Amino acid sequence: MKMPVANRELLRKLTGENLKIADIVVKKDGSIRATKPKVDRLNPFTGKAAYVWRLTCFMVSPKPAHMCMPCTADFDLPAYDENGNWKSAIAREMAKPLDEVVNVIVDAVKKSEWHGVHRWSRAFGR
């Protein structure tokens, strides 16, 4: 299945690390990656990119496997406390600015290609 295409010009709203994350999720030709970026636990940046990819695909991918509930997307975030234990509260705080990156990417995709959004809205009777 062909992945949706984002208007890369609209991604210029992002800066710094957020733009680098968008560049991982959206390929040079504008298409959304079809597979999750590899997560390297020694590089926290990769977990953030995986989180953004997962939520973006939930909303726009035509692949049914990408449209399932993304409740485990947080697990890739480098949300560890001082003892090295993963904490959901830290992940939720870390996710807030990343959710804005997801919104910018999704908004850069034509609404007609929001496959996950359309599928879930039909499931909820809209």
Residue spans per domain, the chain? 8-123
pLDDT of residue 13: 95
State the DSSP code for 26.
B
Instruction: Please give the model's pTM, rounded to 2 decimal places.
Output: 0.92
Find where tokens 């599928």 sit. Answer: 119
pLDDT of residue 120: 87
pLDDT of residue 70: 85
> How confident is the chain (126 residues) per 10-residue block, as mean pLDDT?
95 96 97 96 94 97 89 92 92 96 98 92 80
CA 98 to chain centre: 8
